[in-house]
Structure 1
Amino acid sequence: MNTITIIGGGNLGKSIISGLVNSDLFEATDITVVDKSKYNLKEVEEKLGVSTSQHIIASIKNAKWVILCVQPRQLDAVLQEIKDTVTADQILISTVTGTSIAEINAVVPNNKVVRVMPNTGAAKKLSMTCIAANEDVKEELTTVQKMFDTIGKTLIIEERLMQAATVLGASGIAFFLRFLRAMIQGGIQMGFHPHEAQIIAVQTAIGAATLVAENGTHPEREIDKVTTPQGCTIEGLNEMEHQGLSSSVIKGVMASYEKINTIK
């Protein structure tokens, strides 16, 4: 019941593997990783101790869970390869952007499919994973949620929101990191050495996110706590808004959302 085959050992696959291996739910011996890249396989085998293979069919035969962690353009070839091998009791978990459950079931109609969208925070057990499945997937959905709870937080959503979840949760990692980079650059310009600016900006970002997460407050409530009348914080915030900070972020998010709806 705990055997997993992960097809795809790229960046996201490695993050998921790392999180699962370091959890209490799975052992490294429960996990097999399939990838065409010998470099990727060598890395996950040496660092994480999982089994590896370049042969999909042999690797999925005894797996209860098959995680499809490939690029969208690779998915159809993978499904065509496994469609005559997978059995009805095997659960397919897809991390593939832009491919619906119905599209996967069009190739493998007898398998239950769960769509998940984790992010690379999985490597540190800090992933935000959104999960969607059809109504007939109940017991398996609970298990999948427990599986991805080991690498961070999970949220079950309607499948129609999976594209938006990908932008907000997965692409969102890059968006926040780009803002973090800008904060570090500002720190350097004020006089800090780069490593000092990074320490300060990173810890400040962790603190800001933790305040909202643990207090359950709206970000503006926490902003109010550090903005004094005629102070430097409100001066900086207003200048950022004059330069289009919020508008730019929203436009960037929506540009990604428009793009993801065209990816196949």
Structure 2
Amino acid sequence: MKIAIIGAGNIGGAIACGLAKGSIFKASDIICTTRSAESLAKIKAMHPDFVLTHDNREAAQAADILVLAVKPWRVEEIVNEIKPVLDFDKQMIVSVAAGVTFDQLNTFLTKDLEYDCMVTPTIFRVMPNTAIEVMHSMTFVSSRNASEEQTNLLLQIFNELGNAMLIEERLMAAGTALASSGIAFAMRYIRAVIEGGVELGFYPREAQEIVVNTVKGAVELLLANQTNPETEIDKVTTPGGITIKGLNEMELSGFTSSVIRGLKASK
């Protein structure tokens, strides 16, 4: 089984790296395309066995799974370029372009074909985050015209790269805010704590080591105990203690409401 990533830039390259570390694809089964020689060189440096080309048609024709990882405004252009060589009976189309809907993708794929298209394409919308490069992405998957077997294969692929959740298309924008933009929000929290740690007397590297491992520990607690955050917070907020004072001060400054407003603005 071969997979082609059309537009192996930041997110496309991260997907390729994650796939190469998994068990489903060998690096030699992963075809990557970019427009520039410089970008191809970067992908080559990630893994020497990637199959690299500037020819999107060549890559699309050779793949069982085709990943469209270009910018949203380039999706129609790329689809028009490759659709004469696509075989809807055998191939699955996966789009990671934010905001490009199933209806749009279906129209792009089937409009103005030279033959009477009786087969509807199998399309997936997939929204990973950049942690897919290190196999820790929270990835959302939606499907159209896909069999249970095809859907399970996509979930298997992306579960190997972290955690994959099958959702309705209507939740894709919300998922993007929570998990894709959410990487940046988590990084901003970490940066803020580093700055606070420096103000409290630690060197920046020390403060970063502290907060990264603290956040990691918090996540591991939730995963291991299958509890909610409030339960774990209660364990460390003793009456009159310093933790509850810090939490209350953060809430007075609008911590929770700021996070919620940021998520809504990103949707």
TM-score by length of 2: 0.93
1:135, distance to aligned residue in structure 2 (A): 5.6
For the pair 1:97 / 2:98, whether they are aligned, the reply is yes
CA-atom RMSD, angstroms? 1.0
Q: Which one of the candidate residues 195, 200, 209 is aligned to 1:190?
A: 200
| Separation in structure 2 between the aligned mates of residue 252 and residue 77 of structure 1, nearest angstrom | 32
Identify which range, 190-199 or 137-146, moves more after superposition.
Answer: 137-146
1:46, distance to aligned residue in structure 2 (A): 2.2
For the pair 1:25 / 2:35, whether they are aligned, the reply is no
Residue number in structure 2 paired with 1:201: 211
Secondary structure in 2 aligned to 1:154? strand
| Separation in structure 2 between the aligned mates of residue 70 and residue 222 of structure 1, nearest angstrom | 41
Residue number in structure 2 paired with 1:115: 125
Q: Which has the higher contact order (CA 8 A, sep 6+)?
A: 1
Residue number in structure 1 paired with 2:113: none
Residue number in structure 1 paired with 2:256: 246
1:93-151 C-alpha deviation (Å, 9 max, x unpaired): 11110011121111213321011111111111100011011264322111111111121
Aligned partner letter, 1:82: I
Residue number in structure 2 paired with 1:38: 37
1:215, distance to aligned residue in structure 2 (A): 1.1
| Separation in structure 1 between the aligned mates of residue 104 and residue 208 of structure 2, nearest angstrom | 44
Secondary structure in 2 aligned to 1:84? helix
Matches within 5 A, 1:15-94: 15-49=14-48, 50-88=50-88, 89-94=90-95
Residue number in structure 2 paired with 1:261: none
Aligned partners of 2:30 and 2:51 also within 8 Å: yes
1:214, distance to aligned residue in structure 2 (A): 1.9
Secondary structure in 1 aligned to 2:108? coil
For the pair 1:170 / 2:177, whether they are aligned, the reply is no
What residue ranges of structure 2 are gaps of 5+ in the alignment? 111-119
Instruction: Detail structure 1 runs of 4+ shifted over 6 Å in the superposition.
Output: none
Residue number in structure 2 paired with 1:260: none
Q: Which one of the candidate residues 172, 185, 190 is aligned to 1:180?
A: 190
| Separation in structure 2 between the aligned mates of residue 203 and residue 136 of structure 1, nearest angstrom | 40
Secondary structure in 2 aligned to 1:143? helix
| Separation in structure 2 between the aligned mates of residue 228 and residue 72 of structure 1, nearest angstrom | 49
Secondary structure in 1 aligned to 2:142? strand
Aligned partners of 2:121 and 2:145 also within 8 Å: no
For the pair 1:232 / 2:233, whether they are aligned, the reply is no
Secondary structure in 2 aligned to 1:228? coil
| Separation in structure 1 between the aligned mates of residue 103 and residue 82 of structure 2, nearest angstrom | 17
Aligned partners of 2:122 and 2:145 also within 8 Å: no
1:81-101 C-alpha deviation (Å, 9 max, x unpaired): 112121112110111100111
1:74, distance to aligned residue in structure 2 (A): 1.1
Aligned partner letter, 2:55: H
Secondary structure in 1 aligned to 2:246? helix
Secondary structure in 1 aligned to 2:165? strand
Aligned partner letter, 2:224: E
| Separation in structure 2 between the aligned mates of residue 189 and residue 65 of structure 1, nearest angstrom | 50
Matches within 5 A, 1:150-165: 150-165=160-175
Secondary structure in 2 aligned to 1:191? coil
Aligned partner letter, 2:24: L
TM-score by length of 1: 0.94
Aligned partner letter, 1:81: E
1:168-211 C-alpha deviation (Å, 9 max, x unpaired): 11000000110010001000000000000000000000001111
Identify which range, 139-148 or 234-243, moves more after superposition.
Answer: 139-148
What residue ranges of structure 1 are gaps of 5+ in the alignment? 258-264
